Structure 1
Amino acid sequence: MTAPERVIVVWLPDWPITALLRTQARELATSERIAPEEPIAVMHDGAVVACSPSARAEGVRRGMKKRDAQAACARLRLATADEARDSRAFHDALVRLEELAPGAEPLRPGVAALRARGPARFYRGERPAASALLAALAQAGFADARAGVADGLFTAEQAARAAGEERIRIVAPGEAAAFLAPLSVGALGDPDLALLLARLGVRTLGEFARLAPGRVDDRLGSRGARLHALAAGSDSRTVTPRVPPPELARELDLDAPLELAEQVAFAVRQTADAFCDGLAGAGLVCTAVRILIVSDAAERSERVWQHPTSFDAASVTDRVRWQLQPSPGAAALTGGVVHVRIEPEAVDDAGAHQPALLGQGPDERAHHAMTRVQSALGHRAVLTPSPGGGRFLAEREVRVPWGDGSGPPARRDLPWPGSLPAPLPAEVFREARPAQVRAASGEPVGVDGRGFVTADPATLDRRAITSWSGPWPLVERTWDPARARSAHRFQLALEDGSAWLAVLEDGAWWLEGRYA
């Protein structure tokens, strides 16, 4: 039996926390970010899967239920686990490792392995090689990284986790079994097996390794036999280096800051061409692009743009120009632009976007026409309606710029309790129409604290009401004073045959829609 190969495993502790902090620095405004020194816990299925050092200092531990963790630390900040976020953030660490030692294999987000032979020969020893890798990660912002060197992947990972403050733990060749012997059987990563072995009185890897292999195979099957070999230090798996994906992002550094959007768009044209050519060379097209713009005043403007089909160089250039133009609710850059980065956020197989011989002519012409209007008048000059979610009828239609693939902020398929059931009004007013609903005495009709009308509605804007129904209360966001709403809906039928949907809100009447 051949000896396991020497392996270097790099482990970044609390990786879900690190990925969360690094991602929010790119995607969230400063006021919305979680400070690194705050106690943080990442949750999955109601249990803690990772927590920050400050949270552990307050008594929070992995595996805790949400209520127990909040009881241990009242100021605990909670975040939802996201494997995609962890993987994207780990890409930066992998790239840094591969700059020094090509051939890294990501075992999982936060853990990577490399064959020790090449780096050890280059840096003249396993410890200098591990030190060089950790130093490179520290320069990239991963100061807490640990490294383990041992025979086999499993032993090397356990060595990295046992490194402690020394940050590097080296297990000499042939000493894997002795190093693993005192570790708990929980290190195998199989909670069911660990529970079974504990009931049998087997609590360490050394005790598990001393069991007869034949009996382990008979009782636990092939998986148990595999874990039994790991406990004995016999790890036959080898490092399988990943194939780095092609670098598809493109960057432009401007020597002299440019202040006009048209100037920046002109300068970025060649970069956009190179971006699209790189995608085409990889057999891909971009359906969502992330554009980062940095000014000489250290201001950042970052946005993800969607496309209904795929981006070409001209449409990427348009997005750069539109991003520099002031838009409602967004702060414009005050300095000159010195850096532009274009990277694909979502890609697709180019073969799926080849034009068909028949059936796509009118759609393509319409798309090009709308895009030309946008290029001349601005991104929000052409809007298309999109169904959205909400309790008020006007919220169910959201107008988005032509070509944006992003959906409305509120999903339509949510339950939306309190929303109006079918049949809906034939005409919905996007802008509220003020109205007056009065009783037969001429007094305005209202709703008291118990939800009853103060008088029967008799007229709508001086037109006689023949029948009515309601009120139906509608209460939203009572926990948020700035966005809270409280209203009552009525259906009113008039003597001329028309029917209206009226709303009483904050003592004022307005019409939401008309049935006929």
Structure 2
Amino acid sequence: MLVLWCPDWPAVAAAAVAGEPVGRPAAVFSANRVVACTAVARGDGVRRGMRRREAQSCCPELAVFGEDDGRDARLFESVVRAVEELAVGVEVVRPGIVAVPVEGAAGYFGGEHGLLERLVDEVSVAAGVECQVGVADGLFAATLAARRSTLVEPGETADFLAPLPIRELDQPKTGRAELVTLLRQLGLRTLGAFAALGESDVSARFGMEGVLAHRLARGRSERPPSRRRPPPELSLAQAFDPPIDRVDAAAFVAKGLGERFHAGLAAHGLACTRLGIYATTETGEQLGRVWRCAEPLTPLGVADRVRWQFEGWLKVRDTSARPRSGVVRLRLEPEETVEGRSLQLGLWQASSAGGLRPSTEDEGLSGERAGRALVRVQGLLGPESVFTAVLDGGRDPAERVRLVPWGDRREKSAQADANWAGRLPSPSPATVFARPVPAQVLDESGRVVEITARRRITAVPFLVSFEGGEPREVLSWAGPWPVGVRAGAGHARSGTRIRMQVLLADGQDAEEAVLLRFEPHKNPMWTLEGKYD
């Protein structure tokens, strides 16, 4: 297997869309942590997993971008097209990595070395991005070889993997972080040390997840090499009238197709690990791409890849590479399948006939109707138009609430109940503003109340007004409390945030509690962060 890897692709793609110069450090953040950064940013000390404030303190010139799988897939289409000019059977593992069977193409170009050189040149010229190429037995080993620009001879994959650190098992989107942490705690520091364990012992201690990782560490495929060729009826095709020429329309269609496609495979006890997406346009153009997945695809996974592929077809930067008309027919093909896993409903979602909870069936039907309505809104307004809230970890009320697009996984990025230093105690404000509202705090003499270098208020608050509104009397107050203070010289004010709770008069015999914030390291002024019920 040959793997072509574009380093730091999410950060490279984000910087390219924003028009940032190549030499400027850039990083992509998800849930306030670095998920990808450029080589220039790493040279300044930025690392994956860093918090945003820590990364910006290491590199003040850092360009900050949000995670966007659609953007990454759309820009990566030009790289995939460049690879397809030289080889057939290209499989997209994820935006940034493509895999190619090496035998046929290597013979055509006079050997593997010739193929590697041509691929690097073609991608650099046609797509304008840097890439690295590696060859090894199996996708996992070939990916690691690409990160090291190595060609591993046949049969030597286990020797190549043995000295590598055990953390290599935790590749993006694999979810093996907990397993890798446990292996390190047990003293297994390298892939070779893990591979030396017996498979029966690994199965007894770590279960199926450990067995799959153990196969990778031994240089074998994650799944046994015997593959079933799926029967033809498992392919799913659908015609469209009018043709699809917008990504939001494709996203709406993809959700229904993903559920039907997954249900058809599940009926035969199968799950898809390589998904072929093929489309025919109104003018007869034939479009196609194969997506390889480390884990069996869920209905949401199928829908995501259909949406990403339409992003690549319809929004590719090179307008000459876009389809000349809308898509009139779409076919989903299970290129590779494995034994599927049943998805069991929870016990408390059973029918009310059992007498467990009389309202459960009604609640399930109501939830299903609400889900269909939200999907309909997404189809009309776009996939980023409907969000649900996830209570996450953080110090500020705004940081603790993360909005997730409807249909995406509602995974927590940090423990909400962890001991967050400087976290606002309960109860949290009932209303948290997306953008802090400017406020003015005055003392009894009409002077502005500020924060001193020792993080104390200059006078007792007497009046508070918001955005030029009428001043309101302060009935009581608590604070101020500093958050994010850095110890040491030169950091007394950097990253400091001051909070103060204030109880205001609100009409006759009415009161209102608010949360105020003051940031000395920015434009020194008070802002309204939230309101309490």
TM-score, normalised relative to structure 2: 0.45
Question: Which protein shows a greater Rg?
Answer: 1
TM-score, normalised relative to structure 1: 0.46
